[in-house]
Amino acid sequence: MNCRPLCGACCTAPSISSPIPGMPEGKPAGMPCIHLLNDRRCAIFSDPSRPKVCSDFLPAEYVCGNTREEAITILTDLENETTPFPKYSLESNE
């Protein structure tokens, strides 16, 4: 499968914890990468500074679906299912 034109879901929906040029802390889920162009292509696609996690991601129907909207939904669901829950205690400290 090839990347879908005008998609960019993989550059928006998931969080990226590794440093990205201009985003040393990575990016949170749901926020477009600063390198995502208006036509939703990656501005640093061929740049060696592109994070390995980005270059290792390959488009596949099971994550990209059949439309950009499906890809956003699938990737958001995967993000939510794999994000550790904050460690809050419901117990009283009294």
50's tokens: 């592109």
Per-position pLDDT tens, the chain of length 94: 999 999 999 999 999 999 999 999 999 999 999 999 999 999 999 999 999 999 999 999 999 999 999 999 999 999 999 987 765 545 555 4
The pTM (predicted TM-score) of the whole model is: 0.82
d(CA 77, CA 66): 16
Measure Cα distances from 27 to 3, 73, 91 in Å.
21, 18, 32
Measure Cα distances from 45 to 53, 76, 79, 87 in Å.
12, 22, 22, 36
Map out the domains of the chain as residue ranges. 9-82
